[in-house]
Amino acid sequence: MNLGNNFEVAVNGIKANKLRSSLTMLGIIIGVSAVIIMISVGQGASKKISDQISSMGSNLLMVSPGAGQGAVRGSGGNVNTLTVEDAEAIAGLNKVAYVAPELSSSATVGYASQTWTTQFDGTTPEYQLIKDWPTTSGSFFTEDDVAGATPVAVLGKTVVDNLYPDGTDPVGTTVRINKLSFTVVGVLKSKSASMGGQDQDDVIYIPITTAQRRMLGVKYVRMINVQADTQESMSYVQGSIETLLRQRHRLTGVNSDDFNVRNMASLLETVESTSAILTLFLAGVAAISLLVGGIGIMNIMLVSVTERTREIGLRMAVGATESDIRNQFLVEALALCLVGGLAGILIGISGSKIISAFAGWQTTITISSILLSTGFSAAIGIFFGYYPAKKAAGLDPIEALRFEK
């Protein structure tokens, strides 16, 4: 009997015992769908985190104040060791593309009768280039605005939505930030991403000098964003920054750094590696149900061998070989797994979309996850179907014909 006939016999057997076949395939269906859902959730979470980190800027290094020897603490306990002059010195280093210092604080902003609590972020025009963040209306402020500490502001999309609910174009209007008047010169395109639960569009950007002199009365900065000219030069730039700042801050060999340099490329690699391990763990847990389903198939195939002993003896008597009998039962086990696998794929894809729609989780369904679960289900069918098939093929024809249920 060829493979096509074996498969036809297997399908007819499944149809003849629909309830038993459905219950047998249930473990495979649950296993395959669970593998697809777990992998899609894991990869979706990894992609979301990667997108969030990427939205912060490409080839990005973030210099923040640290708590080493010689650090100067502000009244709030924050370490204040970085200045605009440090940023200007870093900008002169080799392989540095752009540098933008930052200084932020919470703010209550108002326009007409509308008010909104957000944060303002003092920076320089290079910040827009580092973040690759275009405006949808107006433009970012200029170097002249920074030099003159001009009271101008660029609004994020969330701030615009809350201050201008009627759809008014904010450019040219005057808003109050902590009771000081600012002219809106631009509106940023929505990034539609959050970092650590914070909406990136919920912010107002103003010149760094305006934030220091008019808003906070300080000389330090909270962070310095540095963009390397290429991905390959990031490590070199990081080492140059560390050497430069130690020299500028007069730190000798016995002094620890009073700053920290974070390489976002390294952070992204760490996150992706961790997410991959988590995804494999989730898939492994889900795959356990596939093994349980395989055991169920082996049990039902053993029952089937017992029920069909006389049929096996009759087939052997008319010329069927051990190989024919073994292949027939192997194909039946494989058919059960493949049909269950196909049903599991449909349920897994549907489940992933339902989770994405109702739970708000980002899911990513890949061809590799579908092929993996399908291949695993087929392997389960062959592995757990082999022993019953071998047992059926090893029956003595005469004893099989004498067998009574």
In a domain? residue 59: no
Please check whether residue 262 lies inside any domain of the structure. Answer: no
pLDDT digits (tens, 9 = 90+) for 152-196: 999 999 999 999 999 899 999 999 999 899 999 999 999 866 655
Q: Do residue 181 and residue 286 come from a single domain?
A: no
| In contact, 324 and 391? CB cutoff 8 Å | no
Per-residue CA distances from 366 to 37, 87, 402 (Å): 11, 43, 53
Which amino acid is present at 57? G
Query: Which stretch of DSSP H or E encloses residue 389?
Result: helix 367-393
22 and 170 within one domain: no
The answer to whether residues 113 and 228 belong to one domain is yes
Q: For the chain, first and last CA: distance in Å?
A: 26
Do 234 and 141 sit in the same domain of this protein? yes
Neighbours of 121 (CB within 10 A): 21
Share of residues in the chain with pLDDT > 70 (%): 85
Same domain for 253 and 342, yes or no, is no
Rounded distance between C-alpha atoms, residue 235 and residue 265, angstroms: 10
200 and 306 together in one domain: no
Tally of domains within the chain: 2
Which of 225, 257, 289 delimits the end of a domain? Answer: 257
Which of the pair, 365 or 158, is modelled with greater confidence?
158
Helix (H, G, I), strand (E, B) or coil at 347: helix
Strand partners for 85: none
Mean pLDDT for 229-248 is 90
Taking residues 129-156, report their average pLDDT.
94
Q: CA 172, CA 180: separation in Å to the nearest integer?
A: 16
Mean pLDDT of 93-113: 94
Q: Which residue has the tokens 């923040």?
A: 64
How far apart CA 8 and CA 226 sit, in angstroms, is: 66
Mean pLDDT of 99-103: 95
Report the C-alpha gap between 219 and 354 in whole angstroms: 51
Mean pLDDT (the chain, rounded): 83
Helix residue spans in 249-366 (DSSP H): 264-307, 309-317, 322-354
Query: Do 112 and 132 sit in the same domain of this protein?
Result: yes
Shared-domain flag, residues 103 and 237 = yes
Token couple for 175: 């808003």
**Residue the block writes with tokens 């340099």:** 261
Same domain, residue pair 216 and 290? no
Q: How far is it, in rounded angstroms, from Cα 2 to Cα 321?
A: 12
Check pLDDT > 50 for residue 141.
Answer: yes
pLDDT attached to residue 69: 44
Confidence of residue 75 (pLDDT cuts 50, 70, 90): very low
Tokens for 55? 């939205």
CA angle 361/367/370 to nearest 5° reads 85
pLDDT score for 313: 81
Within a domain: 264: no
**Domain limit, last residue, from 208, 226, 257:** 257
Q: Which has more confidence, 37 or 319?
A: 37
Residue type, 14: I
Q: Is the pLDDT of residue 76 over 60?
A: no
Domain that residue 122 falls in: 67-257
Inside any domain, residue 57: no
Residue 96 in this model has a pLDDT that exceeds 90: yes
| Residue 62 lies inside a defined structural domain of this protein | no
